[in-house]
Amino acid sequence: MAKLRVYLAALTILAMALAPLALPIIGTGSSHGDQAYASAAGAPVADNGDNGDDDADNNGGDNNGGDNNSNNNGNSNGNSNGNTNGNTNDNNSGGPPPSQPAAPAAPPAAACSTPGQETSFQSGDGRVVVRVFGSMSQSVKFSIRLPIDPASVPPAPGPVVGGLLFQLIAETCDGSPLAVLPAEVNLGIHYGDADIAGLNEANFTIGRLDTTANQWRPSAKQATDPGSNFTSATITDLGYYVLYQRS
């Protein structure tokens, strides 16, 4: 035991003697370690700075993009308004459009025929015309009622052409009705191309309603002109007439 105590005391003394020599070594190592950690920590800081610059640059680019959008929108709006105003001004600059020429007025209908002069009377649509010859010794006037309700008369002997079912009325110039004309007149009927679809113009016939027998009878003196879409007859009787295709 005595030897052990002596050995321990010697180690203690030796350790105390070596302690001052070990401290500089430990401090030096600690200093290098701090620098190493500082260097390691410094690198991320530099990277963050770069990132910040990049972000700033990118953000700046985005802001520039915003400026571009603003400029583009402003230009678009300006152009649109300019064009609209320009068009409006162009339209108004010429003043009101020129007025269209008025359709020629229809000749006034004859009030009454004059003996020795040829006179014509026509329906409102111009498809039926009564021509009074100059040989008519009495002054007369005509009225043409068109159209007529087909249910008010017996059916025609064949297909009616263009709805040409009408009533012919005549009277003297003082308004007295006439049952029969004092002389022959020409009854002319015009029809359109659409009226003859599926029909044979050569068989077009002007018929008059015989109210005594309640039957349609063809007019005796008549002629057809298919090239002119026209059929006519020389008549002296008044009443209901029809243009139809005979079978």
Q: Are residues 128 and 232 in the same domain?
A: yes
Query: In sequence order, which residues have a C-beta less than 8 Å from that of residue 13 and are 6 or more positions away?
Result: none
Query: In sequence order, which residues have a C-beta less than 8 Å from that of residue 145 and are 6 or more positions away?
Result: 166, 167, 169
Q: Are residues 44 and 125 in the same domain?
A: no
CA-closest candidate to residue 132, choices 181, 167, 175, 205: 181
Distance CA 36, CA 27 (A): 14
Q: What's the pLDDT at 87? A: 46
Query: What is the tens place of the pLDDT at every residue in 183-207?
Result: 999 999 999 999 999 999 999 999 9
Distance CA 246, CA 207 (A): 10
Print the domain residue range for 200. 119-245
Task: Please check whether residue 96 lies inside any domain of the structure.
Answer: no
Q: Are residues 28 and 129 in the same domain?
A: no
Q: What's the pLDDT at 4? A: 67
Q: Are residues 124 and 74 in the same domain?
A: no
Domain stops at, among 23, 50, 79: 79
Q: Are residues 45 and 124 in the same domain?
A: no
Query: In sequence order, which residues have a C-beta less than 8 Å from that of residue 193 and are 6 or more positions away?
Result: 229
Distance CA 91, CA 110 (A): 47
Residue 97 has pLDDT above 80, yes or no: no
Task: Please check whether residue 37 lies inside any domain of the structure.
Answer: yes
Q: Are residues 231 and 158 in the same domain?
A: yes
Average pLDDT value for residue range 41-63? 41
Name the average pLDDT for the chain: 75
Domain count of the fold of the chain: 2
> At 157, is the pLDDT very low, low, confident or very high (cuts 50, 70, 90)?
very high
Q: Are residues 155 and 240 in the same domain?
A: yes
The sign of the torsion formed by the CA atoms of 64, 65, 66, 71 equals positive
Query: In sequence order, which residues have a C-beta less than 8 Å from that of residue 120 and are 6 or more positions away?
Result: 110, 129, 130, 131, 132
CA-closest candidate to residue 164, choices 215, 127, 209, 122: 127
Q: Are residues 29 and 147 in the same domain?
A: no
242 near 210, Cβ under 8 Å? no
Domain stops at, among 27, 56, 79: 79
Using CA atoms in the order 212, 216, 220, 223, what is the torsion angle rounded to 10 degrees?
A: 150
Task: Please check whether residue 87 lies inside any domain of the structure.
Answer: no
> One-letter amino acid identity for 54?
D
Q: Are residues 144 and 220 in the same domain?
A: yes
Select the more confidently predicted residue: 53 or 171. Answer: 171
Q: Are residues 126 and 233 in the same domain?
A: yes
Task: Please check whether residue 40 lies inside any domain of the structure.
Answer: yes
Query: What is the tens place of the pLDDT at every residue in 125-152?
Result: 999 999 999 999 999 999 999 999 999 9
Q: How many CA atoms lie within 13 A of 37 on its CB side?
A: 5
